[in-house]
Amino acid sequence: MLAISPVSLKSKNNFNYGVQPKNPVGLVANNFVRGRYSALNHFNPSVCSLNFSFKGQPSGARIVDNIEHEDYIKYTPEQKERLREKYNKFYELVDLDQLFVKRKPGLNFLPLKNNDDMADFVNLSSDYNAFRKNKIICVGRSPKWFLNTSIWMKGGIEDYSLAAFSSNWYHRNMLGLGPKLYRDNDKAPTEMQANAYKRYMRGIKCDPVSLIKRAQKSGRPIIITDYIHSGAGLTSYLDLMSKFAEEAGVLDEFAKSIELFTMGSLEYIDDLGYDSWYSIPRVILPERLEPYSNDIKQHFHNMSASVLKSILIDKNTNECRSTYYPPVAWTVYNPMKYRTGLISDERLKEMPRVKDGIINNYTNAMRDYRNLMNFRILDYLYTNGLLKEKHKTR
């Protein structure tokens, strides 16, 4: 019988951060009863993929400068109003051929335009505030928008470490969400790739030995966070990290030093038709960590389907945020020095080893997309009295 880790649930319906009083009581998975949600609202990603060269497209001027916390604080009311207009008219102002995907007419708007979506997004981001004294590991690109929002919030986190990771070599039965876990050895990284990833983890001090030392010194567990649907990606990451821990002789200490902060949408799962048998999303631990299922706590945080689609599934939102880093890239470059974003698996397989930082492949439209998203979040936090007065971007 496969051991399943206990999961606590943070529902998006518990509170509305900055609008209604916060109810911090989490619901235990076994006691959570889901109602049917209404039909999914405005976001429906009907998209067609574009072909990008590695360098992106040279045409199209920037419509905004880079926007971080320090920049927003200096804006006048008139500057903010002009930026709100650019956010609202983004798809009329940029070269659409520079975006990762094009949308059908009528769906051309930036994420989080709807205030209900923004409130839900900020709600979930605020859940990280409870872990501001913990070391937080962001697995891949998915949680970065939420984590950065917490960093900008009053009472939010101060920092986190990004562990670039874009892969999975596990799957589950029953349409990918069943209780049985399978490992696809053909998709798993080679020994050379795994060793390269180990060196990368050591370089950012997120290897198991470094994390154990941090947990022992602080007396607080390491928080590993990711978006999950099947959880196969996070299972794969934990498989690799537990391999490194076992090789270092610290598997027991590593397993007892970590907790999982996962996020997803029950509404989205319901809409896919799983609600007749599927319960609270959780990560099925890889083989080495199965004996520690009762030691590794999992906290699932729920959001609306609209927010999930526009922040975690939307390819433009995802690709403009950070580094794409599958196993075939691990022996090619260090993501701390060499930013990617719009590079395909096929192109990576063809790539010779390159010098760090030679190629900048972010298009101007993707830069504008990211920075107007930054502005929208910062502007909402400020308007609702949630923005930190001082912050220094790394």
Chain segment 342-358, per-residue pLDDT in tens: 455 565 555 544 434 33
Per-residue confidence at 201, pLDDT binned at 50, 70, 90?
A: very high
Q: What is the mean pLDDT of residues 12-18?
A: 42
Q: Quick one: which of 326, 339, 4 has its CA closest to 196?
A: 326
pLDDT score of 125 more than 90? yes
Q: What is the mean pLDDT of residues 363-377?
A: 93
Residue-level pLDDT at 280: 72
Cβ–Cβ < 8 Å for 95, 225: no
- In this predicted model, which residue has the larger pLDDT, 59 or 123? 123
How many residues does the structure list for the chain? 394
- Compute CA 388 distance to the chain's CA centroid, rounded to the nearest angstrom: 22
Rg of the chain, C-alpha, whole Å: 21
Lowest-confidence segment of 156-165, 255-264, 266-275, 330-339 by average pLDDT: 330-339
Residue-level pLDDT at 358: 35
For residues 159, 165, 169, 175, the Cα torsion angle rounded to the nearest 10 degrees is 70
pLDDT score of 206 more than 50? yes
Lowest-confidence segment of 78-82, 129-133, 220-224, 342-346 by average pLDDT: 342-346
Residue-level pLDDT at 338: 56
Residue-level pLDDT at 159: 92
Q: Which residues contact 246 (CB under 8 A, 6 or more apart)?
A: 288
Residue-level pLDDT at 148: 95
- Tokens 């905004």 locate to 64
Would the pTM count as exceeding 0.85? Answer: no
Lowest-confidence segment of 21-25, 240-244, 315-319 by average pLDDT: 21-25
Residue-level pLDDT at 262: 96
Lowest-confidence segment of 60-64, 66-70, 219-223, 376-380 by average pLDDT: 60-64
Mean pLDDT across the chain: 81
- Tokens 């199209």 locate to 60
pLDDT score of 284 more than 80? yes
Per-residue confidence at 152, pLDDT binned at 50, 70, 90?
A: very high
Q: What is the mean pLDDT of residues 26-48?
A: 32
Residue-level pLDDT at 332: 78
- Tokens 């945020």 locate to 321
How far is 123 from 162, CA to CA, in rounded Å? Answer: 22
Cβ–Cβ < 8 Å for 108, 278: no
Instruction: Give the sheet arrangement for strand 27-28, strand by strand.
Output: 27-28, 7-10, 298-302, 258-264, 222-227, 136-139, 161-163
pLDDT score of 362 more than 80? no
Q: Quick one: which of 153, 120, 166 has its CA closest to 19?
A: 120
Residue-level pLDDT at 186: 93
How far is 71 from 75, CA to CA, in rounded Å? Answer: 7
Please report, as a single letter, which amino acid is at residue 25: V
- In this predicted model, which residue has the larger pLDDT, 167 or 235? 235
Please report, as a single letter, which amino acid is at residue 276: S
pLDDT score of 56 more than 60? no
Q: What is the mean pLDDT of residues 97-124?
A: 87
Structure tokens at 375: 């502005």
Q: Which residues contact 256 (CB under 8 A, 6 or more apart)?
A: 292, 295
Per-residue confidence at 38, pLDDT binned at 50, 70, 90?
A: very low
What's 276's DSSP letter? T
